[in-house]
Structure formats: C-alpha cells, structure tokens
Structure 1
C-alpha cells in the first residue's frame, strides 16, 4: 500500500512539474518570511521545482506570476496569492493566536504535503498532523510574529510587573535577524545600472532564502527522523514510572537516551500522569557498561529552573567526595547548578534520585 502511494505521489509530481512556473515577491529590503516561503515552495513542493523567482512591486508583472507571496495585497489560495499586509487580514494557524506572515501562509497550505513527503506517508496521517503543528510552533510562528510586529511578551504585563529588564544582551540574534544581516548595508556601493542593481539584490535574496531554508530543513529532519521516533520511547518510559517510584516522580529511559522534554510535557498535559516527573534517568551511551545521568525536569520547556533541583549539599562535588556526602557509591558528579548529575551505574543513579526526593 505504501509503495503504491509513493508511486502515485511521484507520478503526480512528474505531471505537475513545469519549467515556466514563476514565484513573485517584492523587491527591496527582504525579510525572513518571504525568504522561507520561497524556499519551502521551490525545495519541497514538486509543482515549484525549478520555478523562476520574480522580485518586483509592479502589479502587471505580479499578475503574470503563477504564485505571489508577501506582496500584492491578496490572500486567495485558489489563485496562489499569499500576502498578509492587507488591513482585513486576520488568518492564524489553527488554535494559535499569532497572525500569519507569508511564511505561515505557505506553511499552512503546503506544510502537510512537505511533512508527508519527508515521512513518505499520506497527508492525513496522525504523524503528519503532529509534526505539522510542532514545526509551526517551534519554527514558523516566531517568524510570523516578528514580521507582524508582535512581541513575545505582552508589554502591558511586563510594565505591570515592575519594568522587568533583561540581565544581558543576546545580540538580538534570531532567525529574522540572520536574514536581515544579508541585506546590503546602507552605505554599500550600488551599481548604477538598474538591472545590475536588481540582479545584485536578487543574489542576496537567494542567499538569504537558502540560508534560512537550511535551518528549516534541519528542523524538518530533526522532527521527522529523531523527535518522532523518540515519542514511543518516552511513552513507554512514562508508563513504567510506578516501577521506580509509586508517585511516578522518576522516569527511566532504558537502553538509549532520546529527546524527552516535549513528549513528557505533552503526556503530562493530557492528564495521564501519576504525579509530576521530577527526575529523568538515562544512560550516557548504549551498552551495559554505560554511565548513567540523572537530570532534573525543568519547570517549563525553556526554563533553567528545575522542578526539584538535586540537593544543595551535593552540588559542585565529584567522585569519592560526592560518594561521601551522598552515602551513595559510584557517584561521578553533580553540577554546581544542581540540574544534572551522574553515576557509574543505573542502580547508583536511581539511588541518587530516590534520596533527592526525600
């Protein structure tokens, strides 16, 4: 069945493949959203393989394009028009609050196909729906928000909290900033010939589209080839938690470590937990001689604060001294911040977790 499905997909792709397809977007200063929109279409949707790019604001030239993104003032999927700048536009991804940019619009309409092709499964499969949403929330949504001028935090709420300020500068290095740095500087020389100037600008845009596309492709590969296979491992470990702690506070990834945070939070949100997981145990590598790690579960996905850090008296110590302080043999280390530690054996790591619960 799968083989026939793939054969049909390939046959349909061949039928749709055209060399005269053009994608239109605006010229001038470019942004991450249209750079990614163009990449997704040309690199992941067979209809647009080999499509020519036209960067212009001339309505007549845009009318001649097969598909237009981020310019033209129209959102009409039936006509392949994907702009979001019109006053009436308010489209969001399902069950998300952020207004879409051209990246979000293209992903909304073509994302399932992109994910399905990478997984080699039908578009209506559960795996496709899961990853389609996950990639939007982890990658695309930030671009949508940035292009639409939406702050990550509510400014009024921050002001009400007492004017919280960042402790350090992160340089503002985001995906959007990465693309923006590929625009020419204000004082860079510009060719006098208009066609040469446009060609130079288009070359920069192509570089930006490729660059952000590489990051998108890495995310696509990660979620389809690593994150999704890890789900079954985490579900199994989550189910077996009472084997190690009656209240379900210790989760053991036996055999091999796998990405667990996203899946753990999802499982807890679904109300399947006996109790909140505080510690996750996993081997450093596959094999019977592997050392084991004990990691504290963060309070939230992006937090550095643990639900229950390892005991303060253990932090920053190693080896025999840590054995002495903990009364547990085989200790390797506990990080000074108390969020992770290690032991030479599984039994030792489990003993550390149980004692840390006290």
Structure 2
C-alpha cells in the first residue's frame, strides 16, 4: 500500500527487528513495539494496543494501521478522486470488504467463533484453509528451495526469505490495487444507476419486487443499502427479489434474470427462480414456463436468461408470483 504513494515508491525495504537499525528508518511497520503516527511508527503487538478502525470492533494489525492513516491519500493518488463524499465512501468500503479481514487474521479473530459454531451444531461442508489470500501468502513465504539449507550460509538463507517475502508482498499489493480500482471504476459509479433503477422499479411490478438495470454492474451492495434507507410505502414489498440486466451493450443483447441473494447469505437467495424451471433450456423451458425466448435457468435457481428484455421481464413477473 505504501509503495503506491510517491514518498515510498522507491524507498528501500529493511526487514529487521534490530532497534538500532529501526531508529534510522523513516517509517517502521509491524515491528518496534511502538505506535506513533507522528513518527511513522506502526506496530500493533504492544500489550496495551487496542486501536480499531472508526466504526469497527476488530483490533487493527499493522495493515489496518497503515490503511487508516494513509488510505485516503492512497485512494486519491490511485484514482484521482478529490477529498469528499465519494472518497470517504470508498475508504470505508475498502476497509470493510478487504482490509478488516487482514486485521482479523493477523490478530487471531475468527469470522464466527468456534464455540458459536459448536453450540449451533454446525460443521464445515469442505475444507477452505488453502483458499484464501492468507494461504497464498503462506505458500510464498514457505516455498523453500530444493537445495538443502545446510549447504547455505546465513546470508543466503536470509536473502531467500527476503525474496519470498517480496513475492508475497507483490501478490497482496496487486490484490489490493485490483480491489481499489474495481471499486473506484465500477462499484462507485454504479451507485447512481442502481438508485435510479430502484426509484423506477414500480413500473415493472406493483410491489417493486423487480429491478431493471441498464447494463451489468455491481448492484447488490447498493440495493441492500437503498432498501434500508428508503421509507417503505404502502403496498410496496420490503425487498427486491429479482434483478434484470442485459448481457452486453449491443442493441439485440440477451437479458439475464438474477435472484437477489440474502444479504451476506452467500448462495442463499431471497427467492429462487421456480423449481420447475431449474436446469432447463431453450424450447423446453419455453414450454414449461409458458414464456417464449427462454435461454436457460441454472439448476441452482439463482440465474436465468431470455433472448429479449420482454421475455426476461415476463419470467420475473411470473416468478414473483410462483
């Protein structure tokens, strides 16, 4: 993150816990037993350290500390956004969706406490320890050479460790940059489009259960927020069930119908597409649904398609009443 700023773009990196060496450094991160923003000291291992990001309860790691103090400057440098509401929204969003998990992982905080899982008699359906950014970093940091370490000097071993660290750092830095640029270039601009579609939703369904977007965009976060923020009018459903959007910007584009997931519910939907439609395609789906131009409905019932907007809308209007 720091290397995205001009001050640090070409700064040398020193990996050490030697206090004498650290005293010569411009900025110290994750070591040194000191947190002092005025002196660019960002360690979180002190017994008395309990700092959190504003509005959150997860204790910060050094990643969170760096982000909290430098994040807005980093976002402005990368995206060109001026100080203001959009930058503040992005600053909070990147922490919530990306940085906080690093803080939790570094501080030994589980997404759900094991005792709560045990009390609910819940167990994992599969092992996912190797499926995270943390697991990739671990592979980089422990990918040892095939040459026996006994034949290498201490300096050679340290050089190899440093090289692995830099690869891991480069990987995570790339993920951060992808997250930031995607949020800035797609997620943030989508807010206004989703808001307009949300305001117009009653023209497609009297209860407002169908949202129509002008193109594919990141819509779910914005929809959940709009539902929470908008006073519920009489006769209007509290939640949107299906979202329609074209597959491309071409005039003759096919259209998709997407079931809205339960907020933070992963693959669980508010309302699946009808069971009789699941896993069926083309003419057979036309017959089963009674709607012409159908392309498919996924076997899991979360997405489907039609050759035209009118066809996709008909699918949604029938599905909300199914």
TM-score grouping bracket, smaller chain normalisation: over 0.9
Say if 2:32 is the partner of 1:41: no
Change (3 A) 1:98 1:131: same
Say if 2:286 is the partner of 1:286: no
State the 1:271 CA deviation.
Answer: 3.2
Partner of 1:223: 183
Partner of 1:56: 16
Kept in 1, the 8 Å contact 2:130–2:136? The answer is no
Kept in 2, the 8 Å contact 1:101–1:143? The answer is yes
Determine helix, strand or coil for the equivalent of 1:333.
strand
Aligned residues: 315
Question: Following the alignment from structure 2 to structure 1, what is the Cα–Cα distance between the partners of residues 82 and 280?
Answer: 52
Partner of 1:20: none
1:56-98 CA-to-partner distances (Å, cap 9, x unmatched) read 1111111111110001111100010000011111111111111
Matches within 5 A, 1:253-272: 253-254=213-214, 256-272=215-231
Determine helix, strand or coil for the equivalent of 1:289.
coil
State the 1:156 CA deviation.
Answer: 2.4
Partner of 1:147: 106
Determine helix, strand or coil for the equivalent of 1:332.
strand
Determine helix, strand or coil for the equivalent of 1:258.
coil
Question: Following the alignment from structure 2 to structure 1, what is the Cα–Cα distance between the partners of residues 251 and 13?
Answer: 55
Partner of 1:213: 173
Partner of 1:323: 286
Question: Following the alignment from structure 1 to structure 2, what is the Cα–Cα distance between the partners of residues 187 and 115?
Answer: 37
Residue among 293, 299, 310 paired with 1:336: 299
Question: Following the alignment from structure 1 to structure 2, what is the Cα–Cα distance between the partners of residues 218 and 110?
Answer: 18
State the 1:247 CA deviation.
Answer: 1.3
Partner of 2:133: 175
Q: Which has the higher contact order (CA 8 A, sep 6+)?
A: 1
Partner of 1:248: 208
Q: Which sections of structure 2, spanning at least 5 residues, go unmatched?
A: none
State the 1:235 CA deviation.
Answer: 1.1
Kept in 2, the 8 Å contact 1:143–1:175? The answer is no
Matches within 5 A, 1:1-358: 40-42=1-3, 44-123=4-83, 125-162=84-121, 164-184=122-142, 189-190=148-149, 192-254=152-214, 256-272=215-231, 274=236, 275-358=238-321
Kept in 1, the 8 Å contact 2:79–2:181? The answer is no
Task: Point out the more displaced range, 273-282 or 288-297.
Answer: 273-282
Q: Which sections of structure 1, spanning at least 5 residues, go unmatched?
A: 1-39
Kept in 1, the 8 Å contact 2:297–2:305? The answer is yes
1:173-213 CA-to-partner distances (Å, cap 9, x unmatched) read 21111111112357963364333332222111111111111
Q: Compute the RMSD of aligned alpha carbons.
A: 1.6
